[in-house]
Structure formats: C-alpha cells, structure tokens
Amino acid sequence: MSLDRDTLLDIYTRTMKVARFDEKMRSLLMSGKLATIYYTMRGQELVTSAMMAALNQDDYLVTTYRGQHDQIAKGVPLDLLIAEIAGRATGTCKGKGGSMHITHPATGVMVTTGVVGSGLPIANGLALSSQNRKDGKVTVTCFGDGATNIGAFHEAMNMAQLYKLPVIFLCQNNRYGEHTAFADHTRVDSIVTRAAAYGMKGVKVDGNDAVAMYAAAKEAVDRARAGEGPTLIEAMCYRMMGHFFGADFSYMPPEHIEEMKAEDPLPKLNALMLEHQFTQAELDAIVAKLEAEIEAAVEFAFSSPFPDADEIRKDVFEEEIAA
C-alpha cells in the first residue's frame, strides 16, 4: 500500500507539530521557565499522528500521562494545551488538570489518565455510548506496553469484544515501562498475541513506518465504524529518552540506544516525504509555520493569569462548595 500525498502531508504536519512542541517544552523545562512533570513522547510522534489522521475530529480519544502527542495530533489547540501544562486559568482545564489530565471534548479528548491501564475500561464506555446512540463515532485509547499487565487491560479487552464495541486499543510498545524493559515484564514476544485470547483482531505494526501504521489505523477505524468490533494494534516504537523529562535512562543498554537512533521516526518520515516529491523547502516552510504557531501559543500561555483560589470550590460537584 502507498499513501496519497494529502494523507502523507497530513501525517507529516501532525508529526512535526508534535515534534516541535516537544522540543519547545523540553527547552522551557531545561531553562527553568516551566516547572512541571512532563513525559516526553520523543520517538513516538509518528505512531499517533498516523492513527489520528485516520480519525474524525469528533471521534473519541482516551490517553495517558504520556499523551501530549496524542492530544496534539487529535487537534487540541496548542495555546490551551500549553496554558494547561503551565497551570494557567486559560488552559483546557483551567489549570486544574495539568499535563497528566488534559481534557478537551471539543476535539474528542475525553480523558487523560495518570493511572496505568485505567483508560481502557473508560474507552469501552464511550464506545458503548456510540453503539447505543448509533452516532458512528469510534473511540481510540492509547496506552503503553507496561499497561497490558494490569487487570484493567484484561477486563476491558474481554468486554469490548463481547459487546463488539467500536473501540481501538492502540498499544504504543516503546519497549519500556518506567525502568523495566519489555522482556523483563512480559513472557510473550508480542502483546498482540493476547488479542487472540479474547477472540479479538490484533495487528502488530512498525509504528515508525508511516505507510504501515496508517494502513493499520485505517483498517481498524473502518472495522469499528462498520460495526465489526474492536482491534488491538501493537505499534512498535522507542522511548528515546527517560521515563519523564530529566529522568535518568542509563539502564538502557547501548545496543538498544543504537537501535532506537537508527529507527528515529523523524528522519525516516522526512525521507519518505522527499520520495513522494515533496521538496525540502516545502517541508521546511511547513515546519517554520508550526514553530511560529508554537511560539505564539507559549506567549499566550505565559501571559495568561494563574487560576483564582476560589476554583478549589468549583467543579467538585455541579453546585459550588460553600466557602
């Protein structure tokens, strides 16, 4: 399969938006301008951009603490996102959520959870709602390789297949769960083998290959929309840095580091674009535009006010808590 130029350009733009955003965040953290917990997605940019390119704006997404790429690729406005990460009143969640809890229903981002594996059962509920209402929406839930060892994964996979829910389980297998390598937390070679245990369709794909990743995503979306039920996608990728920004990753063996550098999705995608007769100048122009957008978003975020202390009494319940 090959990709048409529009789709390719779409994937490229989403990917580079994520990549430049991530660079900016790391530089803000490094310089001390921003102080917060931040889980970089360096190395996983393409997986999610290809997935989101296969979705509609109103499809649902449930993701994790390492989910800023998922949210951006899904369409969360950068200014609101960065303001939220910086704890400002203008953020998506008024500064009450932060990077681990980004929510933006307007772009379908319904939940971002900091609890490993908890997004899967919730994704089923969103999909169950779509099934009952026949609204044609598809739900995608992103999680890591480590998350497949928590009970919630098992319960959710079984229920999704039982009800044939329009949900896609996108496992971004970055080969580590915190400091623990894949082979040290799981006996099977591939997570996708587990799909069979639920009678579910499973696909393993190279998440750094735009063509293959998009094909897998598209097929899963089409199946879900057609009422054919869920798919487990295991997208192979690398976590090219520590677990969170600033964390040590000296536990990664040198061979692993060599391997992941060779598989870096960004240069690979650039080469693919050139193969498809995009010029480097065209691509650079796209990136320059994205960089300007990111600068403006950062400016917006840092010039925004902090939330009012009264916010603590709001949104606990529908009715405000008395002072």
Ligand X SMILES: Cc1ncc(C[n+]2csc(CCOP(=O)(O)OP(=O)(O)O)c2C)c(N)n1
Residues near other proteins (CB under 8 A) are 60, 62, 91-97, 101, 103-105, 110-111, 113, 115, 118, 120-133, 139, 151-152, 155-156, 158-159, 162-163, 314-318
For Mg ion, the closer of residues 60 and 238 by Cβ is 238
Residue nearest to ligand X (CB): 144
For Mg ion, the closer of residues 178 and 291 by Cβ is 178
Task: Please tell me the distance from the alpha carbon of residue 68 to that of residue 36, in angstroms, as a whole number.
Answer: 14
The radius of gyration of the chain's CA atoms, rounded to the nearest angstrom, is 19
The answer to whether 139 touches 62, Cβ cutoff 8 Å, is: yes
Residues 222-241 that bind ligand X (CB under 6 A): 239
The answer to whether 313 touches 323, Cβ cutoff 8 Å, is: yes
Q: Closest approach of Cβ 32 to other proteins, in Å?
A: 26
Q: Closest approach of Cβ 10 to ligand X, in Å?
A: 24
The answer to whether 239 touches 43, Cβ cutoff 8 Å, is: yes
Work out whether 144 is an interface residue with ligand X (CB under 6 A): yes
Cβ atoms < 10 Å from Cβ of 64: 23
Task: Please tell me the distance from the alpha carbon of residue 88 to that of residue 11, in angstroms, as a whole number.
Answer: 30
Q: Is 290 left (phi over 0), alpha (psi -120 to 50) or beta?
A: alpha
Q: Closest approach of Cβ 48 to ligand X, in Å?
A: 11
Q: Closest approach of Cβ 145 to ligand X, in Å?
A: 4
Residues 96-115 that bind ligand X (CB under 6 A): 114-115
Q: Closest approach of Cβ 249 to Mg ion, in Å?
A: 12
In the chain, what is the greatest distance between 2 CA atoms, to the nearest angstrom? 63
Residues 177-196 that bind ligand X (CB under 6 A): 177-178
Q: Per residue in 91-100, is it b (16+ CB within 10 Å) or e — as a string? A: bbbbbbbbbb
How many residues belong to the site for ligand X (CB under 6 A)?
Answer: 14
Task: Please tell me the distance from the alpha carbon of residue 125 to that of residue 131, in angstroms, as a whole number.
Answer: 10
Which one of 18-26, 140-148, 280-288, 313-321 is the stretch in contact with ligand X (CB under 6 A)? 140-148
**What, of other proteins, ligand X, Mg ion, none, does residue 179 touch, CB below 5 to 8 Å by kind?**
none
Rounded (5°) CA angle 271-70-215: 55
- Structure token pair of residue 177: 């769960």
Task: Please tell me the distance from the alpha carbon of residue 301 to that of residue 30, in angstroms, as a whole number.
Answer: 17
For other proteins, the closer of residues 157 and 213 by Cβ is 157
Q: Per residue in 235-257, is it b (16+ CB within 10 Å) or e — as a string? A: bbbbbbbbbebeeeeeebeeeee
Work out whether 146 is an interface residue with ligand X (CB under 6 A): yes
- Structure token pair of residue 308: 């009012």
Cβ atoms < 10 Å from Cβ of 173: 27
Work out whether 176 is an interface residue with ligand X (CB under 6 A): yes
For ligand X, the closer of residues 60 and 176 by Cβ is 176
**What, of Mg ion, other proteins, ligand X, none, does residue 99 touch, CB below 5 to 8 Å by kind?**
none
Q: Closest approach of Cβ 101 to other proteins, in Å?
A: 4
Residues 248-307 that bind ligand X (CB under 6 A): none
**What, of other proteins, ligand X, Mg ion, none, does residue 151 touch, CB below 5 to 8 Å by kind?**
other proteins
Binding residues vs ligand X (CB under 6 A): 66, 114-116, 143-147, 174, 176-178, 239
